[in-house]
Chains A and B, each alone.
Chain A
Amino acid sequence: MTEPILQISKLNKSFGPVHVLRDVDLNVYPGEVTALVGDNGAGKSTLVKCIAGIHGADSGEIRFEGRPVTLTDPRAATGLGIEFVYQDLALADNLDITQNMFLGRELHKLRAFLSDGEMEKKAREVLAGLSVKTVSSVRQKVANLSGGQRQTVAIAKAVLWNSKVVVLDEPTAALGVAQTRQVLDLVRRLADQGRGVVLISHNMNDVMEVADRVAALYLGQVAAEVMTKDSSTTQIVELITAGRSGDIGLAPAAANESI
């Protein structure tokens, strides 16, 4: 078994009196899609924000490639090679695909001037590397793209910098059937190319189809981390809603106590 690339152990986070994350453990392996599932308010977003460095964790350890790291500002995570694709996409509509992919990290010539040709070439390489076939020009304005294409651009932006871990927050939430298909294929490809992928999703079909491993959060605790191939949709839904399913999950006392 390979070592996890991102290893979170005993992470705690409180907002005032509210204990949002309790002793959360999560392992992300290279080449695997780890789905993070849980009901609204289970703490998924908080966990992601702790990894991103937007919130500081109260206690616990985060290891990246085996080394303990402190993630206290968004730049730190990016610097390590952890990229985030947020639900609301964070693309500027008035810029084109290339400009969005390189936003904030433009390539230069003569220091002050933009090197548009080089960026365009690299953007195409990255999209081609992800086998994206749906984009007819990297000079299209993002405003003119469909939802699936926009999501594709957001994901491509995340992998442009040789990222090692990509965290996707609900990437298929607003998409139609065909576009969901495109994005799931892309998510799978990210993992197949050796990256660790964290997929946050509400959609069990997506999770069962694309994820290797599922971590179910229940009221701020990890109810269980199971392999997709060993479990069923019903089981995962039970883990999400009740914190346990059969003999896996939180101990009955713990599950009840949390309620």
Chain B
Amino acid sequence: MTKLPDGRYVDDAPYDPQVSIQQLERRDLDAPNWVLIWRKFKTHKLGLISGIFLLFCYLMLPFAGFIAPYGANERNSDHLYAPPQAVHWVHEGEFLGPFVYPITAEADLETFQWVFKPDTTTPVPLEFFCEGAEYSLAGFIPSDTHLFCAPDGATLFLWGSDRLGRDVFSRILYGAQLSLTVGLIGISVSFFLGILLGSIAGYFGGRIDWVINRVIEILRSLPELPLWLALSAAVPSNWGPVAVFFIISIILGILDWPGLARAVRAKFLSLREEEYVRAAEMMGASSGRVIRKHLLPNFMSHLIASATLSIPAMILGETALSFLGLGLRAPAVSWGVMLNDAQNLASIEIYPWTAIPMIPIIIIVLAFNFLGDGLRDSLDPYQQ
């Protein structure tokens, strides 16, 4: 307590602005659940930022071809393993707007490597909304306009080029299309299976519960990667990249559902004894309706949070499979496929930029983890 000059007493304890947010008022109790969740989630800064970032990434996916200056498999045979090029703005004290210095490759006969020398006398300005390699916007609108691309007579390798002279930056954007959606498809499969089997086991109990429970236990006790490997090795090699992509994401999902199913089952076991379930049953609701309308909404938000937390495992799984050559295969572009090139130490040491795809992987996985944590913490708005 501090006595102010005017004779009032003021509490010294630091004021926590969170308290007023967490304090529930009468009208808060009537507010829809999602409003309360959102209010609490907003205070979780890291989760909020991650969520916005991920939203941005996913919204960008359809436009990957537009943002990328090169095509996914466009080769520049004159510029193999070109180092990253900087975009400059000022040339000899004069502001020119974004431009690059053209680079030329020279063979170094001592180390047998290409040496790239920028020609710093002739700045070449970047072109915007120019024509380049063909791609399809959002997967179905064919287009060849790019946001920016390399001017004539120069190259634009923002993050260098790989062993076939393909632009790493462009390929990361294209790779995001597959690498980021693999997790979503996989999680949908796992979500579907997990909720279906978990709710059947928990709601009906008895023998079917026993069987499902054993399956869950067995699948959970097995190491995922060797099984993933075995399953993807079974994918026929003559399938197209799209089919392989779908089957790989389904494989990732098939082995992921037991964890979810177990959570659903445990919840159902306790919830099915509640009065409102009894009431619904008395009124003649079918089991399917009771499960969907009365039981699932109770903890859907929890399921979504745990799903968010298992997406990273799938993204990492796809990366690992492709890295080992058993996942997606060229010409498909994913971050794992790109890293396949960076498999040995020599290439990382000499051409470190071929390992750049690991940066988006780490960032995306971190973002999903933060988002999931934030969601999980804010899901129970009635909890103080």
Tell whether A pairs with B: no
